[in-house]
Amino acid sequence: MLQLNVKDETSSLIAVVLGTAKSCGPVPSPQEAYDPKSLENILAGTYPKEADMVEEMEAFNTVLQKHGVQVFRPEVLTDCNQIFSRDIAFVIEDKLIKANILPDREKEFEAIIHVLDVINPENILIPPHDVHVEGGDVMPWKEYIFVGTYRGEDYASYITARTNMAAVAYLKTAFPHKTVKSFDLRKSNTDPKENALHLDCCFQPIGKDKAILHKNGFLIEEEYEWLVDYFGKDNIFEISRDEMYQMFSNVFSISPEVIVSERSFTRLNSWLRDHGFTVEEVPYSEIGKQEGLLRCSTLPLIRV
């Protein structure tokens, strides 16, 4: 049996589910797009090709294997986009929480049944129907669980609003010994530079005490300032609107010292190296056209 353990975003990774780009299906129609960046690329004729995305994910897989990580992959479903495994479930401590995702994506969860079968069923939580939550919005960090949400009364009109306040309440109940801190995120169905699809699209802790942050991703300045105060200005890499669009905050930590990053993120990668990190650079820009990057592609199961 797998002994799940995830208490933060950066402890040494032992086991992970990495999504797959195989058989991800034809280019979606504009009406089928789940986010504005995918829509932009569909309309421009620049939507990524399956072969390119498979190559990018294999480069990521190679880095994970190099660092001794046990990597699980989903069962490949025909014509189904299974790249973003962070969307289907997430682990906090020894519990795997099933995400309440867009209904079309239910079968993605079933495609990791071989992983679920080696987890104690008592440690798999299935939230009630009214709880909307995706793993990109949820970050365990020491005594906190950081949660991205959207509090607007027009929540239902945003396909980009993925985690609601019912999810915040659910996590408080499920993890009463943790402080669940929510952040109201900026949403747009049409402009990818004004849309924080998930919390990890505008913020991510790295190392032991640092973070990548984008101010405009937050609707409430005090909530952004709380993060600046918590990590300290000198420990924060603030990204621009264009860098947010390129997904600079969606890198992935294999350990407190090792970060997997997109090879074109030169400003970020230089800063990381200057601050003592080992940066494993991979090509991931084609996958980035779907408004997701490295963290989105992973579902960590065990960190120590």
**Segment 253-287, tens digit of pLDDT:** 999 999 999 999 999 999 999 999 999 999 999 99
Q: What local confidence, expressed as pLDDT, does residue 34 receive?
A: 83
Instruction: Identify the pLDDT of residue 83.
Output: 97
What are the tens digits of pLDDT across the range 57-92?
999 999 999 999 999 999 999 999 999 999 999 999
User: What pLDDT shows up at residue 110?
Assistant: 92
Considering the entire predicted model, what is its pTM? 0.96
Q: Can you give the length of the chain in residues?
A: 304
The confidence score (pLDDT) of residue 106 equals 85
What's residue 214's pLDDT?
A: 98
- Residue spans of the chain under pLDDT 70: 101-102
Residues ≥6 apart with Cβ < 8 Å to 173:
none
Quick one: 266 exposed, middle or buried, by C-beta within 10 A (0-12, 13-18, 19+)?
Answer: exposed
Residue 108's SS3 state is: helix
CA distance 174 to 118: 22
CA 289 to chain centre: 15
Structure tokens at 23: 């058989």
Q: Which CATH class is domain 13-303?
A: alpha beta
